[in-house]
């Protein structure tokens, strides 16, 4: 059995989770997911400003705090915090560090700000086999962070489809951190989720696992909390990955005194192509929210809309009116509706001009004019697209420093 924990479900997750997982009880491996589709865009913009960046900076802070503790306990760290620059991050860590490279396909997609193939588990497994204490990757599938160390530990073969599929399910349950232990959970009133603990998978040689968490931590691991996470960000029951196709309609869940057992998972060969996460700069956006209080809400909305269109043109503006107002209300807040407007434009000057145009209306528009927060200068926004490439166009590599 190998005991794999998770300490991060996104870039910005609870900073102390790493320490909590290391101090809370025994682990063999501690993983962390830092990369969402949106994160790749954020890191892409970091890298534009400074080419030595492009990784998740919060992970470095966690390592300053916890690396010695992890090494002392013999816990391996496996994270995708390398983002767009795994080597850069790896070189900042004082340990035996392995990194995975080869996901960057910017040369193949020059029009994109970021273009990264979703790599799999085998390069992570190789880093572990080479003796890495810490493994940092760029874009790998989230579940690979769990599948890789499990495959290395048990010496699984590349066609051990059911084992790989079982570990993929474990990885999918872990990848969003506390979403497996009662966070963001429909029946939250039935458990105490004040401070849910981070999840752990105890994976067996056959790929089955027990989902659990350290004793004394908050939240809960039940078939309901695990089911909720299994349903997160999936499509068809045939869950495609770079190493295996996992059949979600074969998953069996059983309550266990320490959590939930997952077994029965079937796998089959993966597709011939790899998915690529493409982010391009789409333009610039800005937004504000007008507060419309009391009488004539529709007419007030119509007036300010007409005025803003007059000032900067209607093109690229999206309006929504949320009728949060109540008749004859006892508080001013309950008497108020919210009119949201967003501009998306290729022209940064127009995105900035939007703010001035909106604020210039302050004494010249509907009675009671105010906004929830003054609009800023506008920010660039990305457009996400998935692409698919043949496996032989990608050469993933494991490197031990």
Partner 1 sequence: MKRPLGTIVGARSGDKGGDANLGVWVRSDKAYEWLNGFLTTEKLKELLPEATEVSRYELPNLKALNFVLHGLLGDGVASSTRFDPQAKALGEWLRGREVEIPEELL
Q: Which pair of tokens denotes residue 109? A: 């997609």
CA 320 to chain CA mean position, Å: 27
Backbone phi, then psi, for 181, in 5-degree steps?
Answer: -120, 25
| 234 sits near partner 1 (criterion: CB under 8 A) | yes
Question: Is there binding between residue 224 and partner 1 (CB under 8 A)?
Answer: yes
Identify the DSSP state of 197: P
Query: Rounded distance, CA 37 to CA 278, Å?
Result: 9
How many residues touch partner 1 under the rule CB under 8 A: the total is 42
For 145, the enclosing helix (H) or strand (E) is helix 144-154
Judged by CB under 8 A, which of 268, 318, 326, 334 binds partner 1?
318
> Residue 139 Cβ, how far from partner 1 at the closest point, in Å?
15
Contact flag: residue 68 with partner 1 (CB under 8 A): no
Identify the bridge partners of residue 338 per DSSP, sorted by sequence position.
291, 322
**For residue 317, what is the enclosing H or E element?**
strand 317-322
Near partner 1 by CB under 8 A: residue from 92, 96, 158, 285: 285
Whether residue 202 contacts residue 209, with contact meaning beta carbons closer than 8 Å, is answered with yes
Interface stretch with partner 1, choices 57-65, 120-128, 226-234, 327-335 (CB under 8 A): 226-234
Distance CA 163, CA 1 (A): 13
CA atoms of 132 and 146, how far apart (whole Å): 15
Does 133 contact partner 1 by CB under 8 A?
no
Does the protein bind partner 1 through residue 304 (CB under 8 A)? no
The residues in 235-274 that bind partner 1, with binding defined as CB under 8 A, are 235-237, 248-253
Question: Shortest gap between Cβ of 382 and partner 1 (angstroms)?
Answer: 4
The answer to whether residue 111 forms part of the interface with partner 1 (CB under 8 A) is no
Pick 59 or 185: Cβ nearer partner 1:
185
- What minimum distance in Å lies between the beta carbon of 165 and partner 1? 14
Closer Cβ to partner 1, 88 or 182, answer by number: 182
CB of 227 to partner 1, least distance (A): 5
Where in 358-387 is the site for partner 1 (CB under 8 A)?
381-386
State the DSSP H helix or E strand holding residue 162, giving kind and residue range, or none if neither: helix 161-174
Shorter beta-carbon distance to partner 1: residue 281 or 303: 281
In the numeric block, the tokens 């954020």 are attached to: 42
| Helix ranges restricted to H, 50-136 | 57-73, 86-90, 122-129
Three-state DSSP class for 79? strand
CB 395 → partner 1: shortest distance, Å?
A: 25
Asked if 186 is part of the footprint of partner 1 (rule: CB under 8 A), the reply reads yes
Contact with partner 1 (CB under 8 A) among 19, 256, 340, 391: 340
Distance in angstroms (rounded) separating the CA atoms of residues 18 and 32: 9
Q: Name the site residues for partner 1 (rule: CB under 8 A).
A: 37-38, 41, 179, 184-187, 224, 227-237, 248-253, 279, 282, 285, 287, 318, 320, 322, 340, 342, 344, 381-386
């Amino acid at each position: 059995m190998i005991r794999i924990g998770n300490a991060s479900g996104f870039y910005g997750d609870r900073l102390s989770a790493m320490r909590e997982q290391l101090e809370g009880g025994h682990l063999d491996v501690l993983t962390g997911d830092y990369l969402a589709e949106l994160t790749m865009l954020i890191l892409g913009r970091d890298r534009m400003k400074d080419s030595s960046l492009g990784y998740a900076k919060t992970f470095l802070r966690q390592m300053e705090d916890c690396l010695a503790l992890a090494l002392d306990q013999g816990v391996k760290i496996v994270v995708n915090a390398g983002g767009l620059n795994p080597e850069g991050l790896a070189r900042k860590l004082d340990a035996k560090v392995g990194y995975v490279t080869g996901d960057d396909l910017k040369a193949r997609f020059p029009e994109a700000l970021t273009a990264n193939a979703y790599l799999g588990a085998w390069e992570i497994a190789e880093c572990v086999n080479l003796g890495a204490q810490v493994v940092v990757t760029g874009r790998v599938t989230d579940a690979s962070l769990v599948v890789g160390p499990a495959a290395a530990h048990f010496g699984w073969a590349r066609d051990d489809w059911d084992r790989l599929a079982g570990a993929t399910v474990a990885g999918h349950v872990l990848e969003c951190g506390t979403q497996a232990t009662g966070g963001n959970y429909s029946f939250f009133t039935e458990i105490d989720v004040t401070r849910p603990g981070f999840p752990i998978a105890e994976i067996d040689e056959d790929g089955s696992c027990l989902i659990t968490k350290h004793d004394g931590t908050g939240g809960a691991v039940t078939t309901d909390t695990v089911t909720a996470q299994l349903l997160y960000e999936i499509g068809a029951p045939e869950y495609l990955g770079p190493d295996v196709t996992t059949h979600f309609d074969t998953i069996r869940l059983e309550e266990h005194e320490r959590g939930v057992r997952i077994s029965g998972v079937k796998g089959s060969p993966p597709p011939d192509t790899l998915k690529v996460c493409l982010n391009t700069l789409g333009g610039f956006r800005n937004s504000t929210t007008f507060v419309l209080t009391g009488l004539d809400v529709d007419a007030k909305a119509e007036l300010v809309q007409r005025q803003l269109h007059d000032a900067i043109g209607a093109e690229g503006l999206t309006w929504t009116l949320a009728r949060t107002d109540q008749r004859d209300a006892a508080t001013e807040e309950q008497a108020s509706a919210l009119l949201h407007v967003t501009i998306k434009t290729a022209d940064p000057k127009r995105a900035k001009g939007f703010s001035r145009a909106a604020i210039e209306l302050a004494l010249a528009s509907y009675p009671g004019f105010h906004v929830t927060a003054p609009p800023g200068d506008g920010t660039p926004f990305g457009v996400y697209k998935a692409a698919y490439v043949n496996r032989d166009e990608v050469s993933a590599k494991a490197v031990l420093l």
